[in-house]
Structure 1
Amino acid sequence: MEWFSAEGYWLSRLVFQRALALVYLVAFLNAALQFRALIGEHGLTPVPRYLAATSWRQAPSVFRLHYSDRFFATLAWGGVVVSAALLLGLGDVLPLPAHMLVWAALWALYLSIVHVGQIWYGFGWESLLCELGFLAIFLGSDDTAPPMLMLLALRWVLFRLEFGAGLIKMRGDRCWRDLTCLDYHHETQPMPNPLSWRFHQLPARMHRVEVAANHVTQLAVPVLLFLPQPVAGGAAAVIVVTQLWLVFSGNFSWLNALALVLATSALGDDAWAVVLPVSPPAELASPRWYEVLVTVVAAVVVVLSYWPARNMLSRRQLMNYSFTPLMLVNTYGAFGSITRVRHEIVLEGTSDPDPGPVTVWLEYEFKGKPGDVHRRPPQVAPYHLRLDWLMWFAALSPAYGRPWFVRLIGKLLQNDPRTLALLRHNPFPDEPPANVRASFYRYRFTDREQRRRTGAWWEREYVGEYHPPTSLSDGSRT
Structure 2
Amino acid sequence: MRWLTDPGYWPGRLIFQRGLAAIYLIAFLCAVGQFRALAGERGLTPVPAYLRRVSFRRAPSLFHLHYSDRFLGTVAWTGTAVSAAVLAGLADAVPLWASMVLWALLWLLYLSIVNVGQVWYGFGWESLLCEAGFLTIFLGNARTAPPVLILWLLRWLLFRLEFGAGLIKLRGDPCWRDLTCLYYHHETQPMPNPLSWYFHRLPKPLHRVEVGANHFTQLIVPFGLFAPQPYATVAAAIVIVTQLWLIVSGNFAWLNWITAILATSVVDWRALGLPVSSGPTGDPAWHQALVIAVTVLVVVLSYWPVANLVSRRQRMNASFNPLHLVNSYGAFGSITRTRYEVVIEGTADPDPGPDSEWREYEFKGKPGDPRRRPPQFAPYHLRLDWLMWFAGLSSLYAEPWIVPLAEKLLMGDRATLRLLRHDPFPDTPPAVVRARLYRYRFTTWHERRETGRWWDRRLVRDYLPPIGLRSTVGVTR
- Report sequence identity in percent: 65
Q: Counterparts of 1:304 and 1:228 in 2: how far apart (Å)?
A: 25
Give the equivalent residue in structure 2 for 1:339.
336
User: Which residue in 2 is equivalent to 1:150?
Assistant: 150
- The secondary structure found in structure 1 opposite 2:325 is coil
Pair 1:379 & 2:376 matched: yes
**Contact 2:135 2:150 survives alignment (8 Å):** yes
User: 1:275-333 CA distances to partner (integer Å, 9 max, x unpaired)?
Assistant: xx87342x321011111110011011011001101100000001000001111100000
Deviations 1:75-132 (A, max 9, x none): 1011011001000111112111111011011101100100000000001000000000
Query: What is residue 119 of structure 1 aligned with on the other side?
Result: 119
Aligned to 2:277: 279
1:438-477 to 2 correspondence within 5 Å? Answer: 438-476=435-473
Structure 2 residue 352 is matched with structure 1 residue 362: no
Counterpart of 1:322 in 2: which secondary structure? coil
Q: Is the 8 A contact 1:51 1:64 kept in 2?
A: yes
Shift of 1:475: 3.8
State the distance in 2 between where 1:356 and 1:318 align.
Answer: 47
- Counterpart of 2:56? 56
| Residue matched to 1:428 | 425
Q: Does residue 1:393 correspond to 2:383, yes or no?
A: no
Q: CA deviation at 1:269?
A: 2.3
* Paired position in structure 2 for 1:105: 105
Q: Secondary structure at the match of 1:346?
A: strand
Alignment of 1:225-374 (within 5 A): 225-270=225-270, 279-281=277-279, 283-374=280-371
Q: Aligned pair count?
A: 475
Residues 373 and 460, structure 1, Cα contact 8 Å, conserved in 2: yes
The match for 1:138 is 138
Distance in 1 (alpha carbons) for counterparts of 2:398 and 2:168: 25
TM-score by length of 1: 0.97
- Which amino acid letter does the alignment assign opposite residue 312 of structure 1? L
* Per-residue deviation, 1:228: 1.1
Q: Counterparts of 1:19 and 1:54 in 2: how far apart (Å)?
A: 33
- Look up the match of 2:16: 16
Query: Which letter does structure 1 place at the counterpart of 2:307?
Result: R
For 2:200 and 2:271, locate their aligned partners in 1 and report how far apart those are by CA, in whole Å.
34
Amino acid at match of 1:104: A
How far does residue 462 in structure 1 lie from its aligned partner after superposition?
0.6
Runs of 4+ in 1 over 4 A off after TM superposition: 271-274, 398-401
Query: Partners of 2:276 and 2:384 in 1: how far apart?
Result: 42
Q: 2-side partners of 1:256 and 1:464: how far apart?
A: 35
Contact 2:30–2:380, Cα closer than 8 Å, also in 1: yes
CA shift, 1:268, in A, is 1.6
Q: Give the aligned partner of residue 175 of structure 2.
A: 175
Question: Does 2:224 match 1:224?
Answer: yes
Alpha-carbon spacing, 1:272–1:54, altered in 2? closer, same or farther (3 Å)? farther
Structure 2 distance, partners of 1:280, 1:85, is: 25
1:358 Cα deviation from its structure 2 partner: 1.1
Displacement of 1:423 after TM fit? Answer: 0.3
What secondary structure, in the 3-state scheme, does the structure 2 residue paired with 1:77 have?
helix
Asked whether the equivalents of residues 5 and 281 of structure 2 are also in contact (C-alpha less than 8 Å), the reply is no
Q: 1:21, 1:87 within 8 Å by CA — same for their partners in 2?
A: yes
More off after superposition, 32-41 vs 395-404: 395-404
What displacement does 1:57 show?
1.3
Counterpart of 2:392, as a letter, is A
Please give the alpha-carbon distance, in whole angstroms, between the structure 1 residues aligned to 2:38 and 2:332: 25
AA aligned to 1:449 is H
CA separation in 1, counterparts of 2:357 and 2:293?
66
Classify the secondary structure of the residue corresponding to 1:321.
coil
- Work out whether residues 187 and 444 of structure 1, in 8 Å CA contact, stay in contact via their aligned partners in 2: yes
What is the alpha-carbon distance in structure 1 between the residues aligned to residue 331 and residue 430 of structure 2? 39
What one-letter code is carried by the residue in structure 2 that aligns with 1:228? Answer: P
Aligned residue runs from structure 1 range 408-427, under 5 A: 408-427=405-424
Unaligned runs of 5+ in 2: none
Q: Evaluate the alpha carbon distance shift between residue 204 and residue 165 of structure 1 in structure 2; reply closer, same or farther with a 3 A threshold.
A: same
Report the Cα offset of residue 152 of structure 1.
0.2
Distance 1:250 1:47 in 2: 31
1-structure distance, mates of 2:399, 2:384: 14
The code of the aligned residue for 1:115 comes to N
How far apart, CA to CA, are the structure 1 residues paired with 2:398 and 2:357?
26
Deviation per residue, 1:347-391 (Å, 9 max, x gap):
000011111111110000000000000000000100000000000
Q: 1:273 Cα deviation (Å)? A: 7.9
Query: Secondary structure of the residue that 1:193 maps to in structure 2?
Result: coil
Change (3 A) 1:271 1:362: farther
Q: CA deviation at 1:58?
A: 1.0
User: Given that residues 361 and 420 in structure 2 are in contact (C-alpha distance below 8 angstroms), is that contact kept between their aligned partners in structure 1?
Assistant: yes
Aligned counterpart, 2:203: 203
Q: Say which SS state the counterpart of residue 246 (structure 1) adopts.
A: helix
Q: Could you tell me how far apart the structure 2 residues matched to 1:3 and 1:131 are?
A: 25
Instruction: Give the C-alpha shift of residue 399 in structure 1.
Output: 7.4
CA distance in 2, matches of 1:404, 1:246: 30
SS in 1 for 2:433: strand
The whole-number CA distance in structure 2 between the counterparts of 1:256 and 1:7 is: 27
One-letter amino acid of the structure 2 residue matched with residue 444 of structure 1? R
Distance, in Å, in 1 between the alignment partners of 2:218 and 2:426 is 48
Tell me which residue corresponds to 2:75.
75
Any conservation in 1 of the 2:95–2:143 contact (CA below 8 Å)?
no
Q: Give the C-alpha shift of residue 271 in structure 1.
A: 6.8
User: Cα–Cα, structure 1 residues 158 and 63, in superposed 2: closer, same or farther, change >3 Å?
Assistant: same
Q: Which residue of 2 is the match for residue 166 of structure 1?
A: 166
- Distance in 2 separating the partners of 1:114 and 1:473: 34
Question: For the residues of structure 1 that align with 2:19 and 2:430, how far apart are their CA atoms?
Answer: 45
